[in-house]
Structure 1
Amino acid sequence: MRSGNKLIDLADLAASQWGLFTTAQARAIGFSAQRIARLADHGTIERLRHGVYRISGAPSVPHEQLRAAWLLIKPAVATGERLDADHPGVVSHRSAARLHDLGDLDADVMEFAVAGRKQSRLTDVRYRIARAGRDRWTLLDGLPVSTVLATIDDLAADHLDGGHLASVVRDAVTTNLVDTDDLIAALGQHAHKYGITPGDGAGLLDRLLTEAGIPESTLALSRRLVAGGTAADIAATVSP
């Protein structure tokens, strides 16, 4: 393959991956490590982190380091192929909360849920074993990300401190990003960790919303709705 054609192929690949590509992907289409290094020296490509480059001139995209770290989960596999899988490696936990704009959590370590046990040598990347279910992730700006409900479930399973979990739940409920009945069911699995009667998801939700500063008058209405079997309306009662 001629050199110019290889560059076109590399550019086409990067165009489907936010302007990014991995060293393994470049090698698969005929680029040696030395050639990749020369392209970087000449400014044709830019190194984002070890093993991931951006085509020079491609616009920077939000959460670029997170995208680069996601590519490195399976560095030889193109994005499109990975997204066709049941579990492509999913942005999860605190990183997912940040992408969903939930709460105010530190997310300096990029967290991903993967299908099997995997270790990272990178200090800013953490892998978790994914919980089963295609319904636990969605595409967000082209990245597979834990759904809002799955993110809250994962954070509660990790026993995130109550104040931070409260801010995440508040934002999810007040912006109608989660079905309240589903949220109550998910929180019920973790109620005992937060000093609530085991299985009492409504009680944990009530405590979290109280801690997040939702007015007592609104919470009182929410409690009546839960008792009356119309918990799905709670989101409307706590909207700003």
Structure 2
Amino acid sequence: MDQKSRCKSMKISYNCNMKYFSNITAISELSESEGVFTTAQAARMGISRDALAHSCRAGRLERICHGAYRMSGTQRRDTDELNALWKLTNPSLCAWERKRQWDGIAVSGTTAANLQQMGDFYLSPYRMTAPMRINTRNESLSFAKREIAEQDIVWLDGLPVTKPERTLVDLCLDCEDPSLIIDAYHDALGRGLDIQRLRGLVEENSKTAKRRELMAPLLMVLNG
């Protein structure tokens, strides 16, 4: 190999190494900021799909689900998959951007109840609520099309979760077991449940005979 070819080869190698270390730095920064992050978030930082795939093969990244990752060696949380699925509902935006401008997509129902230790509900299958219809092929996730006011959510582990009052109403709308809903009510009551807000939400969602029937567990404890 002549001098010119060697120089060109060294330059290519140098550029590849610089890009390699640049990707590692960017991935680390994104992980530190977001924890679980998406392919679209990575793309905003100039990290390609190939770079993500290479980091997975090298053991630096773990793929949580299609389009979502976390750094290997970081502390795992029970909510990592849930966090990934929520972020994938608007994959290019960071959590702080969505927190700044509420988009109406929240963790709700049985999943919200589990996160807030209300009743005997499982974390998954995951339940979310959105103002628009969202279809998913993921069997561990379902969506309800409902409007959730920003005042009715609380941020837990980087996730927008319906507050206990809204969670109880959604459990009724989702036709969960009335006895479990009542148990959840009593658990929330012991932790400062806002009865006035709950009454308002129940009233808003009891304007038809069908809705009043769904709200029966809460109407019973509130009027009992």
Q: Does the alignment reach a TM-score above 0.5?
A: yes
Correspondence for 1:35 among 39, 42, 51: 51
Segments of 5+ residues of structure 1 without an aligned counterpart are 208-222, 224-240
Cross-structure match for 2:111: 95
TM-score normalised by the chain length of structure 2 = 0.79
1:9 aligns to what SS in structure 2?
A: helix
Q: Taking structure 1 as reference, are residues 21 and 185 closer, same or farther at Cα in structure 2, changes over 3 Å only?
A: closer
Correspondence for 2:197 among 182, 202, 206: 182
CA shift for structure 1 position 29: 2.5
2:73 aligns to what SS in structure 1?
A: coil
2:176 aligns to what SS in structure 1?
A: coil
Correspondence for 2:70 among 43, 47, 54: 54
Question: Take 2:173 and 2:46, find their aligned partners in 1: how far apart are those partners?
Answer: 45
CA shift for structure 1 position 49: 1.5
Deviations 1:1-26 (A, max 9, x none): 83322321221112122x22112222
2:90 aligns to what SS in structure 1?
A: coil
Q: Which deviates further from its counterpart, 115-124 or 180-189?
A: 180-189
Query: Contact 2:119–2:180 at 8 Å: present in 1 too?
Result: yes
Q: Taking structure 1 as reference, are residues 82 and 45 closer, same or farther at Cα in structure 2, changes over 3 Å only?
A: same
Q: Which amino acid aligns with 2:41?
A: Q
Residue 122, structure 1, aligned to residue 138, structure 2 = yes
Segments of 5+ residues of structure 2 without an aligned counterpart are 1-17
Q: Which amino acid aligns with 1:181?
A: Q
CA shift for structure 1 position 124: 0.7
CA shift for structure 1 position 206: 5.7
Query: Contact 1:52–1:68 at 8 Å: present in 2 too?
Result: yes
Query: Contact 2:111–2:127 at 8 Å: present in 1 too?
Result: yes
Percent identity between matched residues is: 26
Query: Contact 2:106–2:153 at 8 Å: present in 1 too?
Result: yes
Q: Which amino acid aligns with 1:119?
A: N
Correspondence for 1:85 among 81, 97, 101: 101
Residue 151, structure 1, aligned to residue 167, structure 2 = yes
1:98 aligns to what SS in structure 2?
A: helix
Q: What is the RMSD computed on CA atoms of the aligned residues?
A: 2.5
Deviations 1:153-200 (A, max 9, x none): 111222322111111111111222x1223334444545831696xxx9
Runs of 4+ in structure 1 displaced over 3 angstroms?
A: 184-192
Question: Take 1:114 and 1:104, find their aligned partners in 2: how far apart are those partners?
Answer: 24
1:16 aligns to what SS in structure 2?
A: helix
Q: Which amino acid aligns with 2:155?
A: L
Q: How many residues align?
A: 202
CA shift for structure 1 position 88: 5.3
